[in-house]
Amino acid sequence: MTDRMGTMEKFKVAVVGIGAVGTEMIRLLKRRNFPAESVTILARREREEVIDGDTYHVLPASPEALDGMDFAFFAGTEGAKGASQTLGWEAVRRGCIVIDNGDDFRMDDRVPLVVPEVNPEAVQGHQGFLANPNCSTIIALMAIAPLHRAAGVERFVACTYQAVSGTGAAAVTELEDQTRAWAAGQDPQTEVYPHPIAFNVLPQIGGDKVEPGVTSEELKMKRETHKILGDDSIRVSTTCVRVPVFNSHSEAIHLELKKPLSVEDAREVLSQAPGVRVMDDLSRAEFPMPITASGKEDVFVGRIRLDTSVDNGLALFVAGDNLWKGAAQNAIQIAEKLIEQDLVKVP
């Protein structure tokens, strides 16, 4: 989007929340050369924050602080997950486009739920408020959506291996502390999680208030998949597990397709998909891993093989940076898509 002088228009940006996701938003705005005239950080209290050697003056979040902003990215961290409930639509009323990383409005009919590589058309007709999907949903659909377009997905089963950074900075510290305690022969202390996470896995992410026995994270993956792909007929079963990994989520995915798709054709489809990197060579021990995906903008896909337990079955393994593509990066990409399509003005 350019102005009459032919130069790139620049925008006033607010980042609400400066926890794990908010910090990565600041980094990625710079890394991606986002056309920002200014970047203002808003949080619960005023203070200074140093990110990669740069000092930022953090202001208290308030409706007035959002006056004059073009974009407000709600990071959904630092205990401020519900900040968009308080300030989101008020920011829109003040002429600001809101892109929310939290889950408060994902299933709201007024709010597009967007993965730019998957459903970019969803930004059309927005009402000033757009939402990021859940991190696990984004990472899964980066691989599933191209295959869905190629052969149609009847059903998918996903087992996730989710890093502690998805819980926040305190969980990263807890894993570090428990690892040191184990090495010193001491009992691990638990605060963030109900059980030790070091050298353990926790098969619960969220509660089960809506569907007994189904955690909120598992329910999100089903509901959000239906909304993003626009197909409620896809059958979805997930088991979401927290693992002792600092950053990047991985997922084992089993697909039941509407028509046959060979492994070679699946690789070709995925290799052509934007934002996807195929890493699939068992003979060289090349496959997606959290350590490979961390700090990368692409989602990695490998272990592509037939699943002979069902008709037209295909299995694969994916890994993606949950703080980047699963959160901060996806939000910025939504803003970039709005700029690209000249949809920045609030209706």
E-strand spans in 68-131? 71-74, 97-100, 129-131
226 is catalytic: no
Pairing of strands 129-131, 97-100: parallel
Q: Which residue has the tokens 């896809």?
A: 234
Token pair for 299 = 């989602």
Structure tokens at 326: 């699963």
Q: Is 249 a catalytic residue?
A: yes
CB atoms within 10 A of CB 6: 6
DSSP 165: G
Smallest Cα–Cα separation from 334: which of 143, 81, 105, 100?
Answer: 100
Pairing of strands 276-278, 235-242: unpaired
The residue annotated as part of the active site, out of 126, 135, 148, 240, is 135
Strand 313-320 versus strand 299-306 pairing type: antiparallel
Alpha helices in 260-344, H assignment, sequence order: 263-271, 290-293, 329-340
276 touches 142 (CB < 8 A): yes
Q: Which of 126, 148, 240, 249 is catalytic?
A: 249
Query: Token pair of 138, please?
Result: 């984004």
Which strands sit side by side in the sheet containing 153-162, from one edge to the other? 235-242, 153-162, 249-257, 313-320, 299-306, 276-278
Give the C-alpha separation, 324 to 319, whole Å: 12
- The residues assigned a catalytic role are 135, 249
